[in-house]
Structure 1
Amino acid sequence: MSNIRVLDEKTAGKIAAGEVIERPAGVLKELLENAVDAGATSINIDIEGAGRELIRINDNGCGMDEEDLEQSVLRHATSKIRSFDDLTTLQTFGFRGEALYSVAAVSRMTLTSCTGEGAGHRLELHAGKVFSKSPAPAIKGTTVEIRDLFYNVPARLKFLKSDSYERACLLKVIEESALANLKVAYRVHVNGRTVYDLPAQSGPFEQAVIARAKAILGEEVAGSLLFKAFDEGKLNLFLSPADKLVTVRDMQYIFVNRRPIDSKTVQQAIYKAYQNVRPKDRHPAFLVYMTLNPADFDVNIHPQKRDIRFENENRVFGRIMNDAGEVIFGQSRPVDVRLEAPQMTLPPAAQEAAQKLLSPAAPTPMETFAAACAARPAQAFSPKPHFVIKETEDPAEYIARPEGEPSGTDVPSPSAPAPRASLPEETPSWYQGPYHYLGQLQRSYLLFENPQGLVVIDQHAAQERVLFEHYLDAFERRGVKVQKLLFPVHVDLPPSNAETLLSWAAWLKTAGFEVEPFSARTVLVRTMPHMIRFKEDDMKEFIVSLSQVVGDPSKSTETLKRNMVAMLACKKAIKAHDAISPAEAEGLLENMKKCKDGMHCPHGRPCIAQVDMKQLDKLFGR
């Protein structure tokens, strides 16, 4: 008896069909869900031409007989529901049923399937019309082969992005499916290269998730995740510890009954749990596995079934927030252990003044600073190890330019001052000299005396600002001098991140970084900006971070440019707890004076604070 039926028009009309296939990743998602619903324990995926030329899914699931095979490509055909009421008890990924119909309508599709009993059957369709039928080998399972996607609707091809971006989207779909279905093996080949070979996971759930996550998110991120199960395993949380937050939000996965979904309710609840320990430029990596009664949520509010609506959004928010807080603060390691300052007893009045001055909730003690001095790049630091920005005439160096730009373009040296009008040198209003260097506090803050009182400078934030303006100025003038690396640096990345990074390769070359593919999981870095001069480990760390912040190539390059330059400056700047000499400290202050905004680091944090004598006198009850 056939298991696949065509829904009546009344039932079909109540379902948000979402029949339009927007991109290859949407095709792949539908086919993977069908394979998992068919009980597959092994799925083989082949992709060519970023999915435009070929998407092939082979599974070892239950298969279809000849009648089911022919029914499966009809509109609204499904094996998963019989009426609209079945939606409240749905246990499978999909129910729309028109996935194969919709895909077949815009491609050349071949379906081969066998139930394991008797011969197999093959069905070939072009643009939704049956082209041929034939017998097939008696191998249990189903193979769906999609060729020439959108060949008959070329207008839709115009909306696809670069091959690198489309491949990244395809790999993201596979990664989500692999994290959701731990007992299924995934073997993925892209243009003949093996990208993933993920064995089926067995054993305890926690170990299975971490093993699969290490292959997808990387050893460092996955290995640091904290885990706790709630409500007898119906809620499983894997969260970054407070001291291991990452720079992007693309390592966040939510699964409801193994379905990858987007949920602002769940995401915001987790962020709320981190609210007192999370810097604004850092984000948690997390995997949330929820098991709910199908009647407790609605997946039919979005064509791609990405968004869901919980029956009680407030209760879900509160539950996730409280449980996430228990994971973070109940199991996480200390963020940073430092020596405590010696205790001292102050008079009550002085204690009250100190509390007002030092409380994080109190207004900053910094006086109101005006806008910084007129535009011009910062000069080089004193020639000390931490601060050297040196330009040399080296045949291995060249100026990074966009493709096609003449090599004879006159590009000024990045360290040369920008042309200025012959006016007296301007001084920013925050600069109230003369300054006398007093020393370092905890090897993190530089202390200066000036006529107003005490000046405290965050050494890392201050140098970030100087390097940021120095490099940004060179970048905008297309004057980034580039150093060819004698040996290219190999950087391992999750395949989806590698594809996304490579989609920006041409733009990155103008920024001084020449990157190219080496394997599905590895990129080669052949050049870097001369003024940066990363060590190999620093270069790898930067490229990994960069791969996480780049996104759709169609987005504005201005945002990416600022983020990338800020990241470069942060990675290269002197760190807290690094010792520097008095000459370096004085040189840093002088370079801050020449910045357009010497008051803030590229991330917006203050670089400098002024504590005047009145505040100090009040602190000691004078």
Structure 2
Amino acid sequence: MAMAIQVLSPELVLQIAAGEVIERPASALKELMENSLDAGARMISVDLERGGIGMIRVCDDGCGIPQQELALALHPHASSKIRSTEDLASIRTLGFRGEALASIAAVSRVRIASRVRGEDVGYALTWPGGTLEPAPLMHPLGTTVEAREVFFEIPARRRFLRSERTEFQHCLDCFRRLAIAHPKIRFCLHQDGKPVLDLDPALDLESESERLALLLGSGFIDSAIHLAGEHLGIHLSGWFIEPRHASSAASPELWLVNGRTVQDRLLRHAVRQAYADVLYGQSRPRYVARLAIPPASVDVNVHPQKLEVKFRDAPSVHQAILRLLRSAWQKGAAGPVAIPTGTACPPDTGAGSGASGQPAFGKVREDRLDAGSSLAYLRDIATPLSIATEPGRLGFALAQVGNAYIVSESANGLVIIDFHAAHERILYEELKQALQSPSLAAQTLLLPIPLAFGVREVDALLSWREPLRELGYDLDATGPRSVQLRSHPALLEVTLAVSALEKLAQEPPDASSPDVLIRVFQEVVADLGCQGAVHAGRNLTVAEMNALLRTLEQTPSGDFCNHGRPTWIRFEYAELDRRFHRGR
């Protein structure tokens, strides 16, 4: 028999609401620490017992809670942070719903003690088991909130908690994220009376990097670079792993939006797309990224635990992140080494470094660079490589060694270049640019080529018909499982053009973003660039080597090939002197 509809009791409503906000002890810790940050605290101390299951205590030196508002703080939806729906549209604090303390009090035993500036004593209350009338006590300026026996009144929920060690790890992760998000605040953490972390405020970039090394490990900060930039009013800053240090291992991917830690697919996608053609194999990017955006441009009221956000202009945010990161890679900010400015190298004489003009070592040929031997012959689409007389960061070529490498001399050391990887990147960027040209030529086939697919694949290709036509494709369905190809981009050979269609047909049915089309064709172009690049074993003239170096210096993302391998490394003279014990 169906049960009658009735209004739930206030206690049950509170416990249901608390279940959405307080998932485990770490959730309560997050809410309490965010309250401290909103109160303007400059120091936050956290004490845990039994991984937070036994007790969570958060003490701060913030503005405090007045005596007359202590009991009100435990009421659901009581807050000092918003007053109207207009405030909800432009939230500037971490908390705003007024449900954290009420939810914590619904699932644990809570004690709040606080003193505000100008008062000689503080006040405290305990709930449940106490009275809502605050009692006076001696207390420093600020607030202390203590939650004991989390889920003590909800045995079913308590059974879902993990071991004390696991729950402590979740609390530690929460503590780390907030400490990273707010570097100018001092944070202390104790577990069962033992100190775990004591973080001094980081007031400059150097001390912040040292603090990050403590929280995430020195391996991350040693292999990352700090980037900062602004585009369309959106400010991006943070530490991003250099592509050559990326790996497939689990790694931090932390986004901080206006000081709030969030998990957002749009932001992660923008970063991964920016790294797309500079990462090797299955490597993943690692980063700690801060996004500063006007509060009115982001909605943080979309998740019970405020872990997700919605941007009012998501495409602009995505484009800003993509543009700023790609600009960094293209400028060489993430290159294998930092290139300091210095005096110019001696002009190229067409020979090696020997005083007599003979090659110093390796296979150096004195042939003149002509049309038949130029690297430009590899692809008609490629612009002929010019020979510069002024050295760049890669210096002047000295020799070819190992049938695969160019050795050059720059102002501060020796540079070794993988000429296949370097030429691969050059061709890849030229092909990408040609593919994006509005006047991309199409090659009409004398006889249409029939292609067999599944029903889903045919539907997928037909959904891309208009974008494909802009690229030079002309295809029609000849049945539920077949299409015929009438033309393809002149840039691609027929086999590669068909390969691109086959890859596109395998994309998921909901993959309707233009990014999918771009990614598929960039993969094809990457293969084409790899096939067309000069391969190891070919003897290059000095002029060809220098032409390659000058072009690589001007090529976007030239520090890596399109598969993510480095195109060059450098050995500074200071390092060589150290290894040879010179100057001792």
- 2:24·2:161 contact (CA, 8 Å) conserved in 1? yes
Match in the other structure for 2:228: 229
Match in the other structure for 1:172: 173
How many Å separate the matches in 2 of 1:226 and 1:114? 43
- 2:74·2:102 contact (CA, 8 Å) conserved in 1? yes
Amino acid at match of 1:212: R
- 2:235·2:293 contact (CA, 8 Å) conserved in 1? yes
Superposed, 1:103-118 pairs within 5 Å as 103-116=104-117, 117-118=119-120
Match in the other structure for 2:263: 262
How many Å separate the matches in 1 of 2:291 and 2:263? 13
Superposed, 1:116-131 pairs within 5 Å as 116=117, 117-126=119-128, 130=131
Q: SS at 2:269's partner residue? A: helix
**Residue 154 (structure 1) shift:** 0.9
Match in the other structure for 1:192: 193
How many Å separate the matches in 2 of 1:300 and 1:182? 25
What's the CA shift string for 1:39-60, capped at 9, x where partnerless?
Answer: 1000111111111101110101
**Residue 156 (structure 1) shift:** 0.5
- 2:91·2:300 contact (CA, 8 Å) conserved in 1? no
What's the CA shift string for 1:14-41, capped at 9, x where partnerless?
Answer: xx99754110110000000000000100
- 1:249·1:284 contact (CA, 8 Å) conserved in 2? no
How many Å separate the matches in 1 of 2:403 and 2:61? 65
Q: 1:46 to 1:340 in 2, by over 3 A?
A: farther
Q: 1:269 to 1:165 in 2, by over 3 A?
A: same
- 2:256·2:262 contact (CA, 8 Å) conserved in 1? yes
- 2:41·2:185 contact (CA, 8 Å) conserved in 1? yes
Q: 1:98 to 1:312 in 2, by over 3 A?
A: same
Superposed, 1:61-72 pairs within 5 Å as 61-72=62-73
Match in the other structure for 1:244: 245
Q: 1:181 to 1:20 in 2, by over 3 A?
A: closer
Q: 1:150 to 1:341 in 2, by over 3 A?
A: farther
- 1:242·1:335 contact (CA, 8 Å) conserved in 2? no
- 2:261·2:307 contact (CA, 8 Å) conserved in 1? yes
How many Å separate the matches in 2 of 1:130 and 1:291? 43
How many Å separate the matches in 2 of 1:341 and 1:97? 74
Match in the other structure for 2:334: 332
Match in the other structure for 2:516: none
**Residue 441 (structure 1) shift:** 9.5
What's the CA shift string for 1:572-604, capped at 9, x where partnerless?
Answer: xxxxxxxxxxxxxxxxxxxxxxxxxxxxxxxxx
Q: 1:130 to 1:103 in 2, by over 3 A?
A: farther
Aligned CA RMSD, in angstroms, stands at 3.5
Match in the other structure for 2:217: 218
How many Å separate the matches in 1 of 2:376 and 2:202? 59
Q: SS at 2:227's partner residue? A: strand
How many Å separate the matches in 1 of 2:320 and 2:23? 35
**Residue 221 (structure 1) shift:** 1.1
**Residue 130 (structure 1) shift:** 4.0
Match in the other structure for 2:208: 209
Amino acid at match of 1:91: R
How many Å separate the matches in 2 of 1:75 and 1:233? 35
How many Å separate the matches in 2 of 1:118 and 1:78? 25
TM-score (norm 2): 0.54
Amino acid at match of 1:332: A
Q: SS at 1:234's partner residue? A: strand
How many Å separate the matches in 1 of 2:208 and 2:291? 14
Superposed, 1:262-301 pairs within 5 Å as 262-301=263-302
How many Å separate the matches in 2 of 1:36 and 1:340? 63
List alignment gaps of at least 5 residues for structure 1.
1-8, 356-439, 444-622
Amino acid at match of 1:109: V
Match in the other structure for 1:304: 305
Q: 1:26 to 1:138 in 2, by over 3 A?
A: closer
Amino acid at match of 2:155: P
Q: 1:335 to 1:151 in 2, by over 3 A?
A: same
Amino acid at match of 1:310: F
Percent identity, please.
Answer: 32
How many aligned positions are there? 344
What's the CA shift string for 1:513-566, capped at 9, x where partnerless?
Answer: xxxxxxxxxxxxxxxxxxxxxxxxxxxxxxxxxxxxxxxxxxxxxxxxxxxxxx
- 2:297·2:312 contact (CA, 8 Å) conserved in 1? yes
Q: 1:279 to 1:198 in 2, by over 3 A?
A: same
**Residue 342 (structure 1) shift:** 7.8
- 2:18·2:103 contact (CA, 8 Å) conserved in 1? no
Match in the other structure for 1:145: 146
How many Å separate the matches in 2 of 1:156 and 1:195? 28
Q: 1:112 to 1:286 in 2, by over 3 A?
A: same
Match in the other structure for 2:182: 181
- 1:243·1:335 contact (CA, 8 Å) conserved in 2? no
Matched, 1:155 2:156: yes
Q: SS at 1:279's partner residue? A: coil
TM-score (norm 1): 0.51
Superposed, 1:432-511 pairs within 5 Å as none
Q: 1:25 to 1:112 in 2, by over 3 A?
A: same
Q: SS at 2:190's partner residue? A: strand
How many Å separate the matches in 1 of 2:295 and 2:336? 40
**Residue 276 (structure 1) shift:** 1.2
- 1:182·1:208 contact (CA, 8 Å) conserved in 2? no
How many Å separate the matches in 2 of 1:441 and 1:194? 57
- 1:242·1:278 contact (CA, 8 Å) conserved in 2? yes
How many Å separate the matches in 2 of 1:143 and 1:18? 23
Q: SS at 1:78's partner residue? A: coil
Q: 1:126 to 1:244 in 2, by over 3 A?
A: same
Match in the other structure for 2:573: none
Please identify, of 285-294 and 140-149, the stretch whose mean Cα deviation from structure 2 is larger: 285-294
Q: SS at 2:46's partner residue? A: strand
What's the CA shift string for 1:199-237, capped at 9, x where partnerless?
Answer: 0121x3x33431221111112211332122212893213
How many Å separate the matches in 2 of 1:194 and 1:107? 24
